[in-house]
Amino acid sequence: MSKKVYNYIRKETFPTPFCPGCGHGIVMGLILRAINELDIDMDEFVFVSGSGCAGWIPNPHYAADTMHTSGGQSIPHAIGIKKANPNLRVVVIGGDGDIGSAGGNHLIHAAKRNLDITVICSNNQVLAQSGGQIAPTTPIGAITTTSRTGNVERPFDLCKIAHAAGAQYIARASAYHAKLSLKYIKYGLVAKGFSFIEVLSPCPVEYGRRNNFKDSVEMLRGLRINCVPGDIITGSEQRGITDRVFIGEFVRK
Amino acid sequence: MQQARWGAGGDHQIIAIYPWSVQEMYDLTIEAFNLSEKLRVPVVILTDELVAHLRENAKFKPEPSTIDRNKRTGKPAFGTKDDTGIPPMPPLGSKQKLLITGTTHDEEGYRKDSDPEAAAALAARLSNKILSRKEEIIKFEKDSLDDADIVIISYGFTARSASRAVKLARQKGIKLGLLRLVTIWPFPDELTGSLKNKKIIVAEMNKGQIAAEVQRCTGTPPQLISRTDGLPIQPDEILEFIQGVSK
């Protein structure tokens, strides 16, 4: 990694609040690496985040303009910032609870409005910071503090929602597929129009330990096995796989 | 009324203003933005359904006087130790690496949610910057107040009925005066307290939320004309009440 990346962080804010094995640290590094490889000045960016663990990715760690808003309100703030100063590169970073649950409606309407902002969702499939409650992205059967006998509801596919609402760039990868995620984040940061990138991120503490994952490494292994290249839009069942998570670049306009 | 005042966690001061006409709705909205830009605080414009449905003539200013916030860079943007209590607010994208958070923070914006000193300093600054400027913020209107034996305190649309009631009562020889609150928060404590030797009546469209504030200032509970059925308090209704009181 280029040493330059160290200039992008506020060193005094370390260590991060992330638990050991959390995937958000990987996402945090990937975004900085992407900015470094694109060679964009950090002062051109405004990072907006909401509540939840993933809200800590930019604020206070990134040495740029960062804004930590209340739960689900990151996208509306980002829209306001972009409207007030269209020259800024506005990036929303949040978790699935922030962007898919409390801010779910904002996601849909921001994609519909097609403002030139980038939304990066570090999806750990659980409301981790508030104590491991069920999230709209929690898979069927998963045990959380509010679904003790297993989740009975179908999870959201945030990429499909973004597609239905008209996002101009949609991609999904995982913390295990770091290089792929880096590629997508890099493209998403400079793509015109509303870009949505979902990065699946392991949460060993609030999700893994209640769902028979021994440790974070096992969760990453699970991501390796369960994420397969595919297309959410055509629903192509590559290699006959139907019960897996499709990753890839789904929309690139 | 109270929700505007206490709509957030932690102690703080807020500005809330209550127009009573279409013209004031326009003027006070400009005023609200100016106060907000100057003091770096949200300003709530309270209104009721009756004011919102009014159709009246209003004069719009071709060039309203506006105040712009202090956008100076280079100073801490989230706190200040000087007497003003208002730090500069540079815009995003001005290379200041602003660290914006909703949590308790220090002057640089760093989160200090377990630092008692930082929390106390923040709460004190947010309160003091409003309380120290109470006199310039608070707006009110007096009507025949000086020689009045009975004072009616009201605000918003209800104050229009009260204003009419004052005219009608004066015709009947009852010395009635009106104090119309334009700024509700911060509350005009001293002014209200100075009326404690007069008979005070509060007319409002709730069960006495401002009456409780009046009691806090004068020490005795005021008489309350209250209506919560959605219909406005009528001038005759006030007059009838006053005639009962003045006997």
Shortest CA distance from A58: residue in chain B: B99
Q: Using 50, 70 and 90 to split pLDDT, how confident is the model at A1? A: low
So what's the pLDDT on residue A244?
81
Strand-strand pairing, B150-154 and B176-181: parallel
pLDDT reading at B231 higher than 70: yes
Q: Are A98 and A57 in contact (CB under 8 A)?
A: no
Window 23-52 of A, Cβ < 8 Å to B: 42-44, 46
The whole-angstrom distance between B182's CA and the closest CA on chain A is 31
In this complex, do A67 and B100 lie within 8 Å of one another by their Cβ atoms?
yes
- Percent of chain A exceeding pLDDT 90 equals 83
Rounded CA gap, A44 and A27, in Å?
20
* In A97-137, beta strands by DSSP E: 118-123
Residues 64-123, chain B, touching A (beta carbon < 8 A): 91-93, 95-103, 109-111
Q: Which of B94, B98, B100 best tests the A interface by mutation, with the highest count of A CBs <10 A?
A: B100
**Between the CA atoms of B105, B106, B112 and B116, what dihedral angle is there, to the nearest 10 degrees?**
-110
Q: What is the pLDDT of residue A223?
A: 92
| Residue B111 DSSP symbol | B
Per-residue pLDDT reduced to its tens digit, A172-206: 999 999 999 999 999 999 999 999 999 999 999 99
Q: How many CB pairs under 8 A join A and B?
A: 48
pLDDT at A183: 96
Q: When comparing pLDDT for A239 and B55, which is higher?
A: B55
For A133-168, write each residue's pLDDT tens digit: 999 999 999 999 999 999 999 898 999 999 999 999
A64 at B interface, C-beta within 8 A: yes
* pLDDT 10s digits, A87-116: 999 999 999 999 999 999 999 999 999 999
Identify whether the C-beta of residue A35 lies closer than 8 Å to the C-beta of residue A7.
no
pLDDT of B89 reads 93
- Residues of chain A contacting B111 with CB distance shorter than 8 Å: 60, 68
pLDDT at residue number A39: 93
pTM above 0.95, yes or no: no
Average pLDDT estimate for A210-233: 90
> CB–CB of B101 and A70 under 8 A?
no
- Residues A25-37 pLDDT 10s: 999 999 999 999 9
pLDDT bucket at A238, cuts 50 / 70 / 90:
low
ipTM over cut 0.95? no
pLDDT at position B9: 76
Cβ separation B92–A81 shorter than 8 A: yes
- Is residue A144 within 8 A of residue A132, CB to CB? The reply is yes
